[in-house]
Amino acid sequence: MKLTQLISIATYTLILGGCGGGGTSTPPASSKASVSPTQSSTSVSSLVASSSTSLSSTPNSSVASTDSRPKISFNRDIKHIVGDIHSFDRRKFITIHSSNTEADWFGSNAQSLGAPNASPDLITEVMDGYDVYFGRDTGGITWQLGELNQDPARPGFVSESHAQTKGGDARWVYSNNANSAKIRQFENRLTDMIIGAQQHPFWPDGKLTRKGWALSQTDTPSEPFGTATGHYMGQYLAKYFSKGAGDLFGQPKPLYVEVMNEPLYDLVDASASPVPVEKVFQFHNTVAAEIRKTNSDVLIGGYTVAFPDYDKNDFQQWLNRDKVFIDLAGANMDFYSIHLYDFPAHNNREKYRRGSNVEATLDLLEQYDTIKFGKIKPLVISEYGASIHSMFSDPWTPQRDGLRLIAFNGLLMSFLERPNNIAKTIPFLPIKAEWGRVNGIPYNDRLMRQRKEAPGETGDEWVFTDMIKFYQLWSDVKGTRIDITSSDPDLVVNAYADNKRVYLIINNLEFNAQEFTLNDYSLNNPAFANATIKHLHLDSQNAPVLSETVSDKFPDSLSIGGSGTMIITMNYESAVVIDQTKVEQKTYATNYLQAIKTNSPLNFAINGITPAAFGEATLRLGIGRDHGKSLQPKVTINGTEVTVPKDYRGYDQYHQGKGRENFFGVIEIPVPYSILKANNQIEVTFADDGGHISSAALRAFHYSRNFTH
């Protein structure tokens, strides 16, 4: 996220609004009322320990079918497989926007304003204590460019001999500075690091480096525009890092290289002289080709999209940007990179990615990639979180941290459903980020603050912001993914089993608290010992609270705070036996982005489904329409009409006129498994005109045994 993107300050108004979707993209009269996420939610003590929470002593619980509360069901014995992935990869999902070399980890230095850390060993406490992995560094490559001389024989290019010398110096310093012993302890946590370039001075426009020269702007067949940039990046990767096993010097080499961080914002959207997007995308091709000349062991991608608002201007942003990038540069990219942020307070609007919108965004990208190349290219989400524009100029507040924690968890739950396609995800959370201080106001996105920043506290030492609660919440989760389902799309779930433990993860996309029932339908039942319930939510002052409760009874009835996340660790007396399978198969249609016309059927072919004896399925339709248009089309699959639900993930997006400018999201339609065929014909008809179906996919789950949900 760029600092300049956050300068626009908006007035933020808290509103009441419908939540959870409906038959149209404006809240119908019957919609349940909800509050915005900065309003209060119930504390965990009343949710878990009060008399209103039912705790059953029966390990295998099943609440009566007349119960109207949402129902969450799990099967411990059924392994959930997506592609070839069936376990929780902390290296991929529990990460931090930092590297082991950052001086921010160590107190009493310039990056810490000379103040000490409260933690005697901060890097160990975070990385080992909460089992976190390093993610991304966009500063080192920029700093080192400013240290290099120009090649006198090749103006506009770095001197390769000087890069050899400076790279050797950097490798030696890494292994021989005062913190070397400590930082090398964590090399196992940066095996798939990301690095990326910034616009300046990497975009060749005459901007000088600290040495007083600029990268070549030549654009000829023998030296395409960007050649000098790619040449330097290749030199940096080849000469500034460890050479591999047996090399005693240098940081391990990064795996992922982003050609440029969020290029279109600076070069197009915020520029007085916008650069044609095609030039930016061809620049990616040139840089990638140059890097590969000296580095065969890195993966190169882009274009690190800042604002993937694909539906903007009736999908013109998709057609004129991301589709163009895939068409021009996709074949030369090893991965795509993208940034995804909630905007809870932007121009007096609440615009949330989490929920149906992020699903539609990723489905559109995946489907077009499938159509174009026959497969889905790996996706790197190198930043995600929330930008709270109305609080940008405020000092640190727990309320701002709370909104960002809500975004972290809500977005992560969607990413976890794509473990086979997503290569890496990084919540945008630098450590101290003093480089981002503006007019005395510290950078908003930080893991650490000085003690004196909180009301009633004094002292300069560095302590955790509330953002540490993200890592505390997820600190224990690991193991094999198992079957879990929710009857309410606003309660998003995931589950993993490891030895004698099962981790049940529930995220509430509603702004208000929700009660739900918990049901265990596993066929084998080791003796239940107890449950530990971690619950992250907002308190009555809108500050984040992470509470932990232990129950010796099966928690068959619980309540989760508005926009909250709950991780229930079920402890058993013996190891969980997983001897059945649930194989997920997500298949996209052969066509996409179809314009909606009144009573005009839209047809999609989804082929290659492999039904089993037991299973279930969902049709996913990405829809972009003006508010007030229907979100409940008539849908037939292989000639059989199916019921289209009124509800969908997350808020209704209209939000009483204070939400998104239009609806863009996925609606998920249950499909009777018995009507699936190898090749399936889907027909979708709307009774009104306007907008597009952006994507269409069948998500089928093939079980090895019969099951109950």
Which residues are marked as active site? 262, 383
**Cα–Cα distance between 89 and 21 in angstroms, integer?**
32
- For residue 100, report the phi and psi dihedrals to the nearest 5 degrees: -70, -15
d(CA 293, CA 300): 12
Question: How many other CB atoms are there within 10 angstroms of residue 152's CB atom?
Answer: 7
Three-state SS at 529: strand
In a 13 Å sphere around the CA of 638, the CA atoms on its Cβ side amount to 14
**Contact 588/83 with Cβ under 8 angstroms?**
no
Do 90 and 163 meet the contact criterion of CB atoms below 8 Å apart?
Answer: no
Crossing angle for the helix pair 227-239 and 160-176, nearest 10 degrees?
40
Give the separation between CA 439 and CA 535, rounded to whole angstroms.
36
Omega prior to 201 cis, within 30 of 0: yes
The sign of the CA dihedral 275, 277, 280, 286 is negative
484 vs 173: CA distance, rounded Å: 49
H or E segment to which residue 358 belongs: helix 356-373
Tell me the three state secondary structure of residue 637: strand
CA–CA dist 267, 250 (Å, integer): 34
Residue identified by tokens 């529930």 is 506
Query: What sign has the CA pseudo-torsion 163, 169, 171, 173?
Result: negative
Rounded distance, CA 269 to CA 263, Å? 9
Note whether 645 and 667 are within 8 A (CB).
yes
Instruction: Please report where in the chains the tokens 């232990």 appear, as a residue.
Output: 550
Q: Name the residue with tokens 């009322």.
A: 33
At residue 242, the 3 state secondary structure works out as coil
What secondary structure does DSSP assign to 18-59, as a single string? EBS--SBSS--TTSPEEE-TTS----HIIIIISTTS--BS-S
